[in-house]
Amino acid sequence: MQIEDTAIPGVRILTAPRFADRRGFFAEWFNRAKLKQAGIDLDFCQDNISLSKEVGTLRGLHFQLPPAEQAKLVGVIQGRIFDVALDLRRGSPTYRRHVGVELSGERGNQLLIPAGLAHGFCTLEPDSLVFYKVSSPYSAPHDSGIRWNDPALGIDWPVKESSAILSDKDAKLPFLAGTDLPFRYEA
Ligand SMILES: Cc1cn([C@H]2C[C@H](O)[C@@H](COP(=O)(O)OP(=O)(O)O[C@H]3O[C@@H](C)C(=O)[C@@H](O)[C@H]3O)O2)c(=O)[nH]c1=O
């Protein structure tokens, strides 16, 4: 298992080895013991899957509020996405900064996102199938988010504002300024 740090503390790129033969390949998607050995000890309790049909589909930027905050382990089974994690933890050296990473079914890389960050992605290929684990169950009353194209965030999305395909909910999410967030950074 290859584990790379990113500019944001706790956000890491995980890539498991792939065993290819004439049938295709085999890879481990999640191995609790190997992650624990690498110092990543998260209690994932729910797996989610989403299919986005068109290129330029944008989901985000989402998070759940305490006590239902979620760490996420995000990967792509098929297709390719630009995946974004935005640091919302007050006191973090990278507060309000984000990382953007291309994840694909071909590479098999995954993004580990701690609680206290917002998450979103934009699809780069049709029929992108995203699979992710979360550390706390879905809770509609705690479901929250920040507008994907908030100019204060400076995210260089690979889609024009006018052509992004969004849910009605995501199109109306608030901007970060004026949003009171409870997340704190614990070093
Ligand atoms: C996230 C979620 C949604 N739902 C329901 C609520 C709603 O009726 C329907 C679609 O939900 P959404 O529009 O929020 O789906 P989506 O926009 O794909 O939301 C997801 O976006 C990515 C970026 C994330 O990081 C995820 O945590 C999640 O927020 O599915 C669940 O039943 N369980 C869940 O865990």
Q: What is the pLDDT of residues 94-137, one digit of tens each?
A: 999 999 999 999 999 999 999 999 999 999 999 999 999 999 99
Q: Look-up: residue for tokens 């199938």?
A: 129
- Extract the runs of DSSP E, i.e. beta strands, from 22-116: 24-27, 46-52, 58-64, 72-78, 80-87, 98-104, 109-113
Q: What are the φ and ψ backbone dihedral angles of 39, each rounded to 5 degrees?
A: 85, 10
Q: Give pLDDT, residue 177.
A: 94
Shortest-distance Cα residue to atom 23 of ligand 1: 120
Q: Give pLDDT, residue 180.
A: 87
Split into its structural domains, the chain has a count of: 1
Q: Give pLDDT, residue 178.
A: 83
Residue 16, in any domain of the structure? yes
Could you tell which of 59, 88, 147 is best to mutate to test the pocket of ligand 1, judged by most ligand atoms within 8 Å of the CB?
Answer: 59
- For residues 123 and 128, give the distance between their C-alpha atoms in angstroms, rounded to a whole number: 7
- For residues 95 and 112, give the distance between their C-alpha atoms in angstroms, rounded to a whole number: 17
Where b means 16+ CB within 10 Å and e means fewer, 78-89 reads ebbbbbbbbbbb
Each residue of 132-156: pLDDT tens digit? 999 999 999 999 999 999 999 999 9
Query: Quick check: pTM over 0.95?
Result: yes
Residue 106, in any domain of the structure? yes
Residue 187, in any domain of the structure? no
Residue 184, in any domain of the structure? no
Each residue of 83-92: pLDDT tens digit? 999 999 999 9
Residue 185, in any domain of the structure? no
Positions marked catalytic: 62, 132
CATH number of the CATH domain containing 118: 2.60.120.10
Which domain, by its residues, includes 142?
2-178
Residue 154, in any domain of the structure? yes
Shortest-distance Cα residue to atom 2 of ligand 1: 138
Helix or strand run (H / E) with residue 130: strand 128-134
Q: Is the pLDDT of residue 52 over 90?
A: yes
**Spacing, Cα 139 to ligand 1 middle (Å):** 10
Residue 160, in any domain of the structure? yes
